[in-house]
Structure 1
Amino acid sequence: MELYDTEEQQVEAIKDWWKENGKAVIIGAVVGLGGLFGWRYYQDSVVQASEAASQSYTTVMNALQVKGADAQADIQAFIDSNEVKEYSVLAALQLAKVQVDAKDLAAALEQLKWAQSNTKDAALSPLISYRIARIEAEMGNLDAANSELSKVTDSAWTGRIAELRGDIALRQGNKEAAYTAYTEAQQAADASPTLQMKLDDLAK
C-alpha cells in the first residue's frame, strides 16, 4: 500500500481511483441491489404460490371427501396444473387411496409412481414405496413388491416392511420365510397387533 505525504495527495489519489473504477462500483451496487430486490420478489412469489396451492389443495380435498371417486377429474386437474409439486404429490396420494377403495389398482399404482418420482420429501418416500409394494403384491406382482420394499431404509418402517415381506412370502408358498419375516416384524417398534395372529396361523 502506498503512503501519502499530504491530505491533498490522498484526495487526488481517490479522484484518480474513482475515475478508473467508479463506473464499476456503481454497476456493482446496482446489480447488488437489483439482486436483493429480485430475491425478495422471488421469495414473495414463492410464498404467494404456496398459499394459493394450499387453498386449492384444501378445496380439492373437500371435493374428494364429498364426492369420493367422482372427484377424480378435479383432483387430476389440480395435480397437473399445480406449480407447487409437494401439494400435487399429496393430492396424488389421496387420489390413489380413493382409487384403491374403488378397486382401480392400476390407476392407483400410476398415481403413486408419479408421486414417487416427483417428491423430494424424505418422510414421504418410504410411505409411497410401501403403498406401491402393497398394490404390486395385491396385483400379483410379488417380485416387484419385494423390489420396492428394498428401497425403504428408514428404521421407523422396519416392522411394516418385514410384515409385508411375510405376507408376500406366504403368497409365494414359503411359510418358513413368512414366519421369519413376521418374527422380525414383531420385534420392531412399529409392530402390528395382528402379527401374533399371523404367527399363530402359521404354527397350526
Structure 2
Amino acid sequence: MELYDSEEQQVEAIKDWWKENGKAVILGTVVGIGGLLGWRFYQDTVVEAQEAASDAYTTAVTQLAAQGADAQDTVQSFISANSDSEYATLAALQLAKVQVESGELDAALEQLNWAKSNSKDTALTAVATYRVARILVEQGNDEQALTELDALTHKDWAGRVAELRGDILLRSGDQDAAYQAYSQAQQSADNSQTLQMKLDDLAK
C-alpha cells in the first residue's frame, strides 16, 4: 500500500483516483440500482400475473362445476389465454373429466394430450398419461393404451399401471398374464380396493 506524507497528498491522491474512476463508480452504482429495481419490478409483475391466473382459474373451474359441459367454451378460453401456465394444465384435466362424464371421449382425449404436451410438472403429466390410457381402453384401443402405460414409469403409479395393464390383458384373453399383472399391482402402495376381487376371480 502506498504511504502518504501528509493529508494534502492523501486528498490529492483521492482526487486523482476519482478523476480516473469516478464515472465508472457512478455508472456501476446506477446499473446496480437499476438492476435491483428492475428485478423487483419483474418479481412483482410475475406475482401479479400468477395471482390473476389463479383467480381466473378459480372462476373457470367453478363455472365448470356448476354448469358442466355447458361451460366448455369458457374453460377452453382460459386454457388458450394461459397456455404457458400450469393452471391451464389443471383446467384441461378438469375439462377432460367433465367431457368423459358427458360421453365426449374424443374431446377429452384431445384435452389430455394437450396437457401431456404442455405441462412441465411431472406429476400432472403422469395424471394426464394415465387418463389417456383409460380413455383408450374405453375406446377399445388396447395397443395404444399399453404404449401410454409403458411411458408411465413413475413409481407412484406402479400399482394403477399394472392393474390397468392386467385389465387389458384379461380382455384380450390372456388370463395368466393378467393374473401376473394384478399380482404385481398388489405389491404396490397405490393398489386399488377392487384388485383382490380381480385376483380371486382369476384364481377360481
Common fold: TM-score over 0.5: yes
Helix, strand or coil at the partner of 2:122: coil
Helix, strand or coil at the partner of 1:123: helix
Q: 1 CA distance for matches of 2:17 and 2:144?
A: 70
Listed as ranges, the matches of 1:38-187 within 5 Å are: 38-82=38-82, 85-187=85-187
Q: 1:167 to 1:83 in 2, by over 3 A?
A: closer
Indicate the percent of aligned positions where both proteins have the same amino acid.
65
Helix, strand or coil at the partner of 2:193: coil
Alignment RMSD, CA only?
A: 1.7
Q: 1 CA distance for matches of 2:83 and 2:136?
A: 29
1:3 Cα deviation after fit: 4.1
1:109 Cα deviation after fit: 1.1
1:130 Cα deviation after fit: 1.0
Q: 1 CA distance for matches of 2:169 and 2:12?
A: 87
Q: Specify the code of the residue in structure 2 equivalent to 1:68.
A: G
Residue 160 of structure 1 contacts residue 190 of structure 1 at CA under 8 Å; is this kept in 2?
A: yes
Q: 1:45 to 1:167 in 2, by over 3 A?
A: same
Count of matched residue positions in the alignment of Structure 1 and Structure 2:
204
Residue 49 of structure 1 contacts residue 84 of structure 1 at CA under 8 Å; is this kept in 2?
A: no
Helix, strand or coil at the partner of 1:192: coil
Helix, strand or coil at the partner of 1:76: helix
1:122 Cα deviation after fit: 2.7
- The runs of 5 or more residues in structure 1 that have no matched partner are none
- The runs of 5 or more residues in structure 2 that have no matched partner are none
Residue 84 of structure 2 contacts residue 118 of structure 2 at CA under 8 Å; is this kept in 1?
A: no
Residue 53 of structure 1 contacts residue 84 of structure 1 at CA under 8 Å; is this kept in 2?
A: no
Query: Deviations for 1:137-165, whole angstroms, at most 9, x for unmatched residues?
Result: 22222222222222323222211111011
